[in-house]
Amino acid sequence: MKQKTKMIHGGITGDEQTGAVSVPIYQVSTYKQPRAGQHTGYEYSRTGNPTRTALESLIADLEGGAAGYAFGSGMAAVTAVMMLFNSGDHIILTDDVYGGTYRVMTKVMNRIGIEATFSDTSSIGDIEKAIKPNTKAIYVETPTNPLLKITDLKKVSETAKKHGLLLIVDNTFYTPYFQNPLSFGADIVLHSATKYLGGHSDVVGGLVVTATKELGEELHFIQNSTGGILGPQDSWLLMRGMKTLGLRMEAHEQNARKIAAFLEGHHAVEKVYYPGSPSHPGHELAKQQSTGFGGMISFDIGKEENVDLVLGRLKLFTIAESLGAVESLISVPARMTHASIPRDRRLQLGITDGLIRISVGIEDIDDLLEDLKEALDPLA
C-alpha cells in the first residue's frame, strides 16, 4: 500500500459497532470490567485509550515499525525516550539539535546522571570520536534544525550496530511521507507531531515508533509510569491532519523549491540552507535516502539589525515558533527556538544572529515570493 493510501486507510479506521468512517473520540477515563481484575483491552486511559491507540497504530504503519506511542508534546516524547537510559549512560546527539532537546539534555537529564555529547552527526568520523565506553545511543536529527544538515542514515546505523548502540532519529522535518529511518536500521523514530503531522497549528503532540515490540514494551512502561500521554481530542485531530499529509508535503516542497531559488539569487541573502538546492552539501545524500526535500529553509542576511527590518515588512509570513503548518511561519532561531543554547555555542555551529528560518506554507507561491521580495529589496 502506498503512503498516501496508508495515511487514510492505515492503522485502525472507523468504528465497527456503528459504521462510523472516522474513529470516535473516546472521551473517557476508565472502563467497565466484567470481573474484578479482568478487562476487555482497556482499563484506564493513562494506560490506553481507543482513540490514542488508533493514532499509535497509524504512525507505526506509516513508519514501518512494530509499535507506536503518542505523547502530550514532542518534548514529552523525547524525554520518555531518554528515560530508557540509566544514570551514568552517555548519549551522542546532533550538534545543531533543536533547542528544546538541547535544553532537556543539558539542564534536566544531566541531573539524573545521563551524559550528552553534541557532535556533527553528518560526519561518521566525528561520531566515532565521540563514542565512550558508557555510550548507549546516537540521537540524530536529519535534516537538522535549523541548519538542515543531512546525516547518512545507513552509515550511522552501521556505526551504531558496530558499537552496540541504539539509533534514535527525529523525523519531524521530513515526516514518514518523505523519509523512513527505520528502513535504514534506526531503532526508534520520533516526531513533534505538532508540526507537519498535525499541520494546522491547532494541536500539540509527540509520536514515537519502535522497530521492535520489545523496545516498544519498555517505552510503554515509561509512558504509563510517567503519564505524559496525548488526550483523545488531540489524538483525533492528529489523525485527521495525517490524512492529508502527503498532499500537504508535496505542496510545501513545491513552494520551498521556488523560494530557495529566489533567495539564492537575491543580493541581500548571504547564504541559503535547503537540501533541495543542488548547492547544498547534503543534496545528493538527501536524494538517496528521502523522496522529497521538505518545506524548511534557513537563510542568513548578515547583520542582526537587518532581521527586524525584513520581518517587519512581511505580510504573509507569521513571526511564530513552530513549523509545518499550512500557513507560512518565520522565526529567528537565535532569539526563539534556539535561544536556550549559549550564544558562543550557537555562533560556533553557524546559528548566527542574522539567520532566519522559514516554514514554507501552502499559499499561492506568487504571493509568497512577492512578499519576500518586498521585504528583502530595501536591503540593497
* Torsion (CA) 335, 339, 345, 346 in degrees, nearest 10: -40
- What integer is the mean pLDDT of 333-345? 87
| Residues 213, 305 within the same domain | no
Per residue in 105-116, pLDDT (tens digit) is 999 999 999 999
User: 93 with 149: CB under 8 angstroms?
Assistant: no
Given the residues 15, 42, 46, 258, select the one marked as catalytic: 46
Q: What sign for the dihedral angle of Cα 195, 196, 202, 203?
A: negative
| Residues 308, 218 within the same domain | no
Tell me the residue range of the domain where 260 lies.
246-379
Using the 3D structure, point to which of 242, 276, 305 is the last residue of a domain: 242
The three three-digit cell numbers of residue 251, written as one number: 505542496
Using the 3D structure, point to which of 242, 269, 290 is the last residue of a domain: 242
- CATH code, domain carrying 363: 3.90.1150.10
In sequence order, what DSSP letters do the residues of 281-331 get, joined into one string?
A: TTHHHHHHH-S---SEEEEE-SSHHHHHHHHHH-SSSEE-S---SSS-EEE
| Residues 222, 287 within the same domain | no
The verdict on whether 170 is a catalytic residue reads yes
- What integer is the mean pLDDT of 331-349? 89
Using the 3D structure, point to which of 212, 242, 272 is the last residue of a domain: 242
Given the residues 89, 96, 170, 300, select the one marked as catalytic: 170
Count CB atoms within 10 A of the CB of residue 129.
12
At residue 345, does pLDDT exceed 90?
no
Comparison of pLDDT for 12 and 81, the residue scoring more: 81
Average pLDDT, the chain: 96
Per residue in 41-68, pLDDT (tens digit) is 999 999 999 999 999 999 999 999 999 9
| Residues 290, 186 within the same domain | no
Per residue in 369-380, pLDDT (tens digit) is 999 999 999 997
How far is the C-alpha of 166 from the C-alpha of 89, rounded, in Å? 12
| Residues 260, 226 within the same domain | no
| Residues 118, 134 within the same domain | yes
The verdict on whether 335 is a catalytic residue reads no
Q: How confident is the model at residue 337 (pLDDT cuts 50, 70, 90)?
A: confident
Region of residue 345 (left: phi > 0; alpha: psi -120 to 50; beta: else): alpha
How far is the C-alpha of 240 from the C-alpha of 225, rounded, in Å? 28
Given the residues 98, 139, 196, 273, select the one marked as catalytic: 98
| Residues 228, 266 within the same domain | no
CA atoms within 13 A on the CB side of 273: 22
Residue with cell 560556533: 348
How far is the C-alpha of 363 from the C-alpha of 139, rounded, in Å? 34
Name the H helices within the chain.
Answer: 3-9, 50-63, 74-82, 99-107, 124-130, 153-162, 175-178, 213-226, 232-242, 245-264, 283-289, 304-313, 343-349, 365-376
Query: Across-strand partners of 68?
Result: 209
Find, among 239, 276, 238, 269, the residue nearest to 360 by Cα. Answer: 276
CA atoms within 13 A on the CB side of 167: 27
User: 316 with 124: CB under 8 angstroms?
Assistant: no
| Residues 234, 255 within the same domain | no
| Residues 107, 167 within the same domain | yes
User: 155 with 169: CB under 8 angstroms?
Assistant: no
| Residues 361, 374 within the same domain | yes
Structural domains of the chain, count:
2
